[in-house]
Amino acid sequence: MQNAKCKIQSVKHPVQRLYVVFIALGFLLLPFIAAAADDRISIKELKAKMDKGEDIVILDVRTSSAYMGSKIKIKGAVRIDPDSIERKYQSLPKDKEIITYCT
């Protein structure tokens, strides 16, 4: 009997490779995601800022259809369509806290 040599290879499916890439990206982006989550404020906190008369700018960045279809609107909020943010962000005050909200 002849001794046949078999070469065993681990062949990974392309989807498995994508999972590895997504997991690696997740770990790389985790500090940024955590930092963004820390910047969130609650409705209660926003109301407190407004009640105190703090000098803030509230941006309503909902899409036009979401804005028009909603009964909820924050008085004094500046509405900027998400598609316009890149063009209009330079006109926002740099010396005030800017709070954005959407649905």
pLDDT category of residue 90 using cuts at 50, 70 and 90: confident
Residue 9 confidence (pLDDT): 45
Bridge partners (DSSP) listed for residue 78: 59
What value does the mean pLDDT of the chain take?
75
- pTM equals 0.59
39-71 residue pLDDT tens: 788 889 999 999 999 999 999 888 889 999 999
User: Percent of the chain having pLDDT more than 70?
Assistant: 62
For residue 37, count CB atoms less than 10 angstroms from its CB and return exposed for 0-12, middle for 13-18, buried for 19 or more: exposed
Spatial distance between the Cα atoms of 102 and 79, rounded to a whole number of angstroms? 10
